[in-house]
Structure 1
């Protein structure tokens, strides 16, 4: 018998340890370091991937119709250059036209300031703040040389940070465009092998549902890109009709500029604002506020109505989710976020529905033991 006075040696509690292979640690370290190094190229990589996925059917048709003597490198280079010109040339035209109109507008303002800038037509009749704006305009800008005096009082040093920010913005986006084109050429060359490897890794991670997720993401990307093109076309045509109805001078040019800049969110409003300023500074029969209101209304309908309606057919999301995906993606990733946002929400919705279906199958199996035994 054990002596009651003897003390039992306490047994240390068992602890559960998780042992991971050493390769996992080094692999994760390499992935983290790679992501850190390529962080500055994230937007360019996403833009190149989205462009390659959206234009891949066109590229395959283009490459199939080329002579056999032209290799893959040459076909990829030709298609990349053609696509770059097709995308950038209209945007360069829009920016050039906008700069030209801005120069003409500044010249008109300088000439008008010598005699005093008259209150724009219809400003007093604007609802709510129209009379207040007209009174402020009359007191600040209607007297000769008022604008020149106001600009002379402005501190030139305060404009330096704005100029630096604009320069950094321009250099940054030129950097993104250059590497997007370079990566796009690489993706056209190696796209088939990269897609096959990606699907193989995805099958290992997600199992039998991997191909469905990949196909869904591809359709969502193409639907989002198509929605951007449709919105630009809608904004150009609708604004052209609106400008022609109210009698805007050079309505076709302004409609083209508005539609092309509408490819980039909020840039279309810059074109509409420049048009309203030009109408305010020149003697025309078109009320500037009417042109401004119509242009903003067209852009609002394109961004908030046409884009989600067109995109929802491919991404299979309701209107509000497509809208939030576009706006949230643009806030996080910029222009490319307009495509990535709805795609991510589409994949999240598919993961949720797949999980619900799997749990429903488990519940049915647990409630019917005979089914599980027979299986």
Structure 2
């Protein structure tokens, strides 16, 4: 391979580096759009084939993008709206209780080991009516303002990412066939004869990873609805829907389970809260540790622990998109390692 540096190649490399630097803030949106397009391409192809011939690529791509966006975003928006509604109701209840005086709950005072200490701290911090209001008034305004600004920046950034991901997704649906051919030619030139196999492995891994997210969300929602009903939790179906919507992403479901348990405990049902918390966590652990690797592993051929590490590691590095990309990257790494072992093995014998 001729790697001689020429002015043309240097210019091309500089343009590529500059382009990546310019769009690096949108890498997450690009990755999300690519993963969604790859995972849903068979559905889009079937949808496109059933449309009348007079419907162009742009219109079909726009219609299907709208449907996928609704399917993906609607559960998350519902979960966030429901959590905010529950939080608002809880705050109103706390304000009404504070006006009468927040006495120490019997279940907290009678809790083993830590109960007396927690009761003493409660009485020292909330001695009488209006104590909670006075406590909140002593909060540092600058710290509250900083937290609000950080939350606003986080929301604005992710709204921008979602918006660009939707635009890129429509473009990928419209130009997907030509992009696939161009990418295939480039990979064959860069990688060689193995390019098609690597593309096939990555495609199957992406679809398996996305399928695992959907199956886990459905499993957690249904199982937690049953668990909450058995535990006697109020609004069991609502909380199950919230938890299932968030459980597609590892660890988000635990926040919903904890929020529900806290609300039930504050409403005077400590036993129900504890049972619901334990059952909810058991369902989420089963979904993350058993169902997710079981579904994803079929298309990735990865051991259980590698699928789990890919989901968690990808989430930490790339955010929500990393839940899909992490296992895909590890799948390719596993394939490269296995291929290298097959090549080296005969030489050592």
For the criterion TM > 0.5, the same-fold answer is yes
Tell me if structure 2 keeps the 8 A contact 1:261–1:267. yes
What is the aligned counterpart of 1:79 among 45, 60, 64?
A: 64
Q: Does 1:329 align with 2:283?
A: no
2:345 to 354, 360, 369: 360
Matched residues in 1 for 2:138 and 2:241: separation? 37
How far does the alpha carbon of each residue in 1:244-281 deviate from its partner, in whole angstroms, 9 at most, with x for none? 11111110011001111223333323322321232123
Deviates more, 1:41-50 or 1:351-360: 351-360
* Corresponding pairs, count: 347
Match of residue 194, structure 1, among 174, 179, 191: 179
2:158 counterpart of 1:157: no
Correspondent of 1:37 among 7, 11, 22: 22
Is the contact between residue 247 and residue 285 of structure 1 (CA under 8 Å) also seen in structure 2? no
The 2-side partners of 1:125 and 1:213 are apart by: 61
Q: Which residue of 1 aligns with 2:89?
A: 104
1:348 aligns to 2:333 (yes or no): yes
Using the TM superposition, name which of 324-333 and 107-116 deviates more.
Answer: 107-116
1:233 is aligned to 218
Q: CA deviation at 1:115?
A: 2.6
Whole-angstrom distance in 2 between the partners of 1:234 and 1:26: 52
TM-score scaled to structure 2, two decimals? 0.92
Matched residue SS, 2:192: helix
Structure 2: which 5+ residue stretches go unaligned? none
Q: Distance in 1 between matches of 2:82 and 2:299?
A: 34
1:140, distance to aligned residue in structure 2 (A): 3.1
Structure number with bigger Rg: 1
**Relative to 1, partners in 2 of residues 1:120 and 1:337: Cα closer, same or farther, differing over 3 Å?**
farther
Partner of 1:137: 122
Q: Write the deviation string for residues 168-212 of structure 1: whole angstroms up to 9, x where unpaired.
A: 000000000000000000000111111111111111122111111
Superposition TM-score, scaled by structure 1 size? 0.86
Shift of 1:45: 0.2
Q: 1:299 and 1:134, CA in 2 relative to 1: closer, same or farther beyond 3 A? A: farther
CA distance in 2, matches of 1:195, 1:129: 62
- From 34, 48, 51, give the equivalent of 1:63: 48
Q: Would the aligned equivalents of 1:243 and 1:291 in 2 still touch at CA under 8 Å?
A: yes
Summarize the Cα distance change of 1:202–1:141 in structure 2 as closer, same or farther, 3 Å threshold: same
Structure 1 residue 98 displacement after superposition: 1.3
Change in CA separation of 1:204 and 1:53 when aligned onto 2, cut-off 3 Å:
same
The CA distance in 2 between the partners of 1:68 and 1:127, in whole Å, is 72
**Which residue of the partner structure matches residue 230 of structure 2?**
245
**Cα gap change, 1:121/1:263 in structure 2, threshold over 3 Å: closer, same or farther?**
farther
d(CA) in 2 for partners of 1:121, 1:246: 21
Checking the alignment, whether the CA contact within 8 Å between 1:123 and 1:289 is kept in structure 2 is no
Q: Deviations over 1:328-347 (max 9, x none)?
A: 11110000001101100110
2:300 pairs with 1:315: yes
For the aligned residues, what is the CA RMSD?
Answer: 2.1
Query: Where does the alignment leave 5 or more consecutive residues of structure 1 unmatched?
Result: 1-17, 365-375
1:295-349 per-residue CA deviation (whole Å, 9 max, x = no partner) reads: 2332233223322222111111111111111111111000000110110011011
Q: Provide the C-alpha distance between the structure 2 equivalents of 1:245 and 1:227, rounded to a whole number of angstroms.
A: 26
